[in-house]
Amino acid sequence: MGSQLGTLFRVSTFGESHGVALGCVVDGCPPGVTMCQNLIQTFLDRRRPGQNEFTTQRAELDICEILSGVENEVTLGTPIAILVRNQDKKSSDYNDINQIFRPGHADYTTFKKYGTAASSGGGRASARETIGRVAAAAVAKAYVQTLLPQVDVIAWVDRIGHVQAQVDLNSVTLSNVEASSIRCPDEIAAANMMSEIKSAKNKGDSLGGVICCVAKNIPSGLGEPVFDKLEADLAKAMMSLPAARSFEIGEGWASTFLKGSENNDAYFLDKESNIITRSNRSGGIQGGISNGMPIFIRVGFKPVSTIFKQQNTVTKDFKEIQFTPTSGRHDPCVLPRAVPLIESMFWLVIADHLLRQISLNHKFLAEIQNNL
């Protein structure tokens, strides 16, 4: 029951990191959306490891296959199942750590939850689980842009360790981000980040940091006023990513230091007499509902738990032990690969709230179609 997300655009993911396959089923995607294997593969390729020296060398191609819900490159309106088979299952890589509860990992809590030892390599707790999310997000994006072609979602690495980038969220583009091998569009900061990552890697250590994400041209009216506030569903979506530790909407943490007179975004009329705000400290949401301005968030990630240093822990037969992993395939810094994950979760939340608003307010669909 914990493997489903969304009320109307509902995604179910399945698969263990060292099992047969991973994937998703998307139920609720409207018919008539252009869709094909290639489009989903492009999304998956962005999250794929082994792309450069900064990511884990688990060398899987992660080729996806659409099993259902698409015919002649168009969605049918029925469940879309997408499959990625595991190929590089070197469980032996994990033999030396299979007898212990690794600090920071979910081995112990998984054991306590299910009453069985976690399957090798992390099972559902592995970052490979996000394959299903990313595949589903490719569908979500295609659907949203069918109705709202101008919507875009762009994430980037904003900080790694203590190296802070300077990025203008109004002008940053997806190609700026992708031009950087660590997905930081501030070239100077990116260079410093890379050097920090190399240094950490050499020491067998790992780094955390922050990813920013902005969604542009989201229509006003998305989100619900109570539990399913847009920022609440975004928070859940982002905090469900492995290693996420903090979430902010708009100026977030910084706004907690401000006074109301400093923080409120005053309303104005633009040239077409649409209501806008000039400042956007709220991050495009009031009372849980989008106001038409850019929505931006920050997500903090802890340093990856896998390090190649000696640590204290406990074995699965409850003995204290000191251990130092000597092998295993892990990023010293998860941030660059988390960028497409953040975007993916954002698309999933938008697609769901778009469908919800269409079903609730029967004038909304015509309004957004008229704006095209």
Q: Binding residue for its own copies (CB under 8 A) from 71, 73, 168, 187?
A: 71
Task: With contacts defined by CB under 8 A, name the span among 16-24, 48-56, 168-176, 181-189 that binds its own copies.
Answer: 16-24
126 annotated as belonging to a binding site for a ligand = yes
287 annotated as belonging to a binding site for a ligand = yes
Residue 328: both structure tokens together: 């295993």
b/e map of 182-217 (b: 16 or more CB within 10 Å)?
bbbbbeebbebbbebbeebbeeeebbbbbbbbbbbe
326 annotated as belonging to a binding site for a ligand = no
Q: Report the nearest approach of its own copies to the CB of residue 282 (Å).
A: 7
Q: Please state, in angstroms and rounded to a whole number, the distance separating the CA atoms of residues 183 and 158.
A: 9
Question: 7: burial class by Cβ within 10 Å (0-12, 13-18, 19+)?
Answer: middle
Please report whether residue 88 would count as binding its own copies according to CB under 8 A: no
Q: Please state, in angstroms and rounded to a whole number, the distance separating the CA atoms of residues 246 and 195.
A: 25
Task: With contacts defined by CB under 8 A, name the span among 41-49, 167-175, 182-190, 202-210 that binds its own copies.
Answer: 202-210
Please report whether residue 188 would count as binding its own copies according to CB under 8 A: no
58 annotated as belonging to a binding site for a ligand = no
DSSP, res 339: H
The count of C-alpha atoms lying within 13 angstroms of the C-alpha of 7, restricted to the half-sphere facing its C-beta, is 17
b/e map of 309-343 (b: 16 or more CB within 10 Å)?
eebebeeeeeeeeebebeebbbbbbbbbbbbbbbb
Instruction: Name the helix (H) or strand (E) containing 195.
Output: helix 187-202
Instruction: Name the helix (H) or strand (E) containing 170.
Output: none
Please, which residue, 171 or 266, has the CB nearer to its own copies?
A: 266
Please, which residue, 174 or 328, has the CB nearer to its own copies?
A: 328
Please report whether residue 161 would count as binding its own copies according to CB under 8 A: yes
* CA angle at 340 for the pair 8 and 227, rounded to the nearest 5°: 35
Q: Report the nearest approach of its own copies to the CB of residue 42 (Å).
A: 20
Please report whether residue 76 would count as binding its own copies according to CB under 8 A: yes
Enumerate residues 31-70 that contact its own copies by CB under 8 A. Answer: 31-32, 65-69
Q: Binding residue for its own copies (CB under 8 A) from 41, 55, 56, 119?
A: 119
161 annotated as belonging to a binding site for a ligand = no
Please report whether residue 7 would count as binding its own copies according to CB under 8 A: yes
Q: Please state, in angstroms and rounded to a whole number, the distance separating the CA atoms of residues 246 and 335.
A: 14
Please report whether residue 109 would count as binding its own copies according to CB under 8 A: yes
Site size for its own copies, by CB under 8 A? 153
125 annotated as belonging to a binding site for a ligand = yes
Q: Please state, in angstroms and rounded to a whole number, the distance separating the CA atoms of residues 194 and 181.
A: 9
304 annotated as belonging to a binding site for a ligand = yes
Please name the residues in contact with 138: beta carbons below 8 A apart, sequence gap of 6 or more.
39, 40, 42, 43, 44
Task: With contacts defined by CB under 8 A, name the span among 45-53, 169-177, 178-186, 301-309 that binds its own copies.
Answer: 301-309
x/- contact string, 318-337, with its own copies (CB under 8 A)?
xxx-----------------
185 annotated as belonging to a binding site for a ligand = no
Please, which residue, 175 or 292, has the CB nearer to its own copies?
A: 292
329 annotated as belonging to a binding site for a ligand = yes
- Beta pairing class for 275-277 and 285-286: unpaired
Taking CA atoms, 48 is separated from 2, 26, 59, 171, 296, in Å, by 24, 21, 9, 27, 25
φ and ψ of 258, to 5 deg: -85, 165
Enumerate residues 120-149 that contact its own copies by CB under 8 A. Answer: 123-125, 129, 147
Enumerate residues 220-279 that contact its own copies by CB under 8 A. Answer: 220-229, 231-240, 242, 244-253, 255-269, 273, 275, 277
Please, which residue, 152 or 251, has the CB nearer to its own copies?
A: 251
Binding residues for NADP(+): 47
Binding site for FMN: what residues are annotated? 124-126, 287, 302-306, 329
